[in-house]
Amino acid sequence: MSNDLKKIFGQRTKEAREKVGMTQLQLAETVQVSAASISAYEKGNSFPSLTVAKDIATECKVTIDWLCGQESSDINLSKTLSDVIELLFKLDNPPLFEIRYKRQDERLGETFYTDEEVGLYFNDRYSGFVSSNQENRKLFDFFKDWQKMRDLYNRNSIDNEVYHLWMEKTLKKYSNVAIPDSCDIPF
């Protein structure tokens, strides 16, 4: 194993671990190695087994290819609707965008938006990445629910703990909703 690969793997492991807010000890416990092993990996003194490298990548939400320097981006492609929702939750901390539930009547024709009005809009009849009509509404329904919860949170009707419990419940709810490889969504 080349020293360059060990060094790249170590630097990227540390970067990814810190990005997800884990200590060396927390990562070590999660991937079932010692904290000294994680330290050795990050210093470039040692390289883990393939199983441990895979577990590190999974826990840090990156790919093994990225950890080994084969990809320039640390973004791990989303595989489930829960992954997409988790990314949106992260983008919203601190709040960066407004969520609006809006229905457009097709009879009104084209809608124009000003620079001040930016939003995410989904067609409730067809979302393009699920197969049945029932599932076509999952992302649409998520945004409706999220808008309600954010409004309650922003008005201090619910506290931070309740809001985060709802977020966790939502991630679990959508964790088994797969996004097909043929999907055109750039997540």
Write down the domain spans for the chain. 3-67, 81-173
Residues 102-123, mean pLDDT to the nearest whole number: 49
Whole-structure pTM value: 0.45
Residues 6+ away with beta carbon under 8 Å from 151: none
pLDDT score, position 22:
92
pLDDT score, position 88:
78
Q: Over the stretch 137-183, which tens digit does the pLDDT of each residue have?
A: 677 788 888 888 988 998 999 999 999 999 999 988 877 776 655 44
Mean of the per-residue pLDDT values of the chain: 76
> Which numeric CATH code is attached to 3-67?
1.10.260.40
User: 60 near 13, Cβ under 8 Å?
Assistant: yes
Instruction: Judge whether residue 55 has pLDDT over 70.
Output: yes
E strand residue ranges, the chain:
none
Instruction: Judge whether residue 117 has pLDDT over 70.
Output: no
Residues 6+ away with beta carbon under 8 Å from 117: none
